[in-house]
Structure 1
């Protein structure tokens, strides 16, 4: 009988966590993406939308029926209580769906399920479900530069004059996340992804695969 390892993958915005998740997926891990599940819950007809409209009002529902992300982002940055209300709606739904996906992978004989969770350290919900926590780490200036570079590339691709995020916005997001020290203190293993090329990062990831059951 296959023993499935359950790994929590986390890291701050711009750390390269999503790239590490992709590399682990290519190595055979089943990736359960908490962010993707959260987005699905807040699309038109998503399971969180009725509660969001009731809690925040119709102004936070976009014309297409999805959550008005820009408006909600601004609100939760300005009002911590609003962030807690939103999390109280979304997090239980995300927990249920990620558990369902993980159990499906276990039933199919997966050797490793990786929970890709941006706020793993910030939430008490996850640790008891995991065998190990893997943290992707880099300097804060690297995080900022990566996010701004990504936003600029997206703006150029869309033909826009300016990116949707500026440095202040990135810093606000980072301030709402656990510090580097807090994340690393919770890690069973970590990857320092600061000046690594994609090839070098893939090499580092390959070196930890045996610890993950891959």
Structure 2
């Protein structure tokens, strides 16, 4: 089974592209979705996070206060590294489980939607890499609208990732999500054709 990485900058539209691929029956495993699942209420992952950072990061219902924890670790590399040391092994284990299931179903290709593909130096794990790209101004605007973050929060999140220009240079396919929805649909059509070619090369 071809293993294709899907990544990009924060708020470049990667999740939208993932959803569109699923609508075209392309199997997609979502690292963010798994990262939320491994720290759900009552999970060993949540217990590990709270042991490391304290119960101040729990909401009243016992779930993780993701925004508060994000504010705490971003801009502090040693704290971010500690959090990633807890989460990344759990995410990798669940990803391997889901990948084996897809291989057992004889899928020709699967896409792994992973925000920190380049940041975790995972390039060699993939048969191909897709990067979803937009301008930094669009990233800021989308984060402001979507997350209601402060300017400082936005800048810290963008700065914590490798610049999108580097990711574009390293990609096998760049999808430009820098215009309107009609343009995005055309870009996704172009991506679907590329994915079909990847299947033929299996």
**TM-score normalised by structure 1 residue count:** 0.85
Whether 1:166 aligns to 2:165 is no
Whether 1:190 aligns to 2:148 is no
Equivalence for 1:91: 88
Aligned equivalents of 1:108 and 1:101: distance in 2? 11
Whether 1:207 aligns to 2:194 is no
Aligned residues of 2:75 and 2:156 also touching (Cα < 8 A): no
Task: Look up the SS of the partner of 2:44 in the other structure.
Answer: coil
Equivalence for 2:131: 135
CA distances 1:7-49 after superposition (whole Å, capped 9, x unpaired): 1000111101111111111222111000010011122122311
What is the deviation of 1:169?
1.6
CA distances 1:43-68 after superposition (whole Å, capped 9, x unpaired): 21223112112211222233322222
Q: Pick from 55, 59, 69: which aligns with 2:56? A: 59
Structure 2 unaligned spans of 5+ = none
Over the aligned positions, Cα root-mean-square deviation in angstroms equals 1.6
Aligned equivalents of 1:49 and 1:99: distance in 2? 20
**TM-score normalised by structure 2 residue count:** 0.90
What is the deviation of 1:166?
2.5
Aligned equivalents of 2:106 and 2:189: distance in 1? 21
CA distances 1:79-109 after superposition (whole Å, capped 9, x unpaired): 2101000000000100111111111112112
Task: Look up the SS of the partner of 1:48 in the other structure.
Answer: helix
CA distances 1:85-141 after superposition (whole Å, capped 9, x unpaired): 0000000100111111111112112232110111111002x3233111100111100
Q: How many residues align?
A: 197
Q: Pick from 128, 138, 141: which aligns with 1:145? A: 141
What is the deviation of 1:209?
2.0
Aligned residues of 1:121 and 1:186 also touching (Cα < 8 A): no
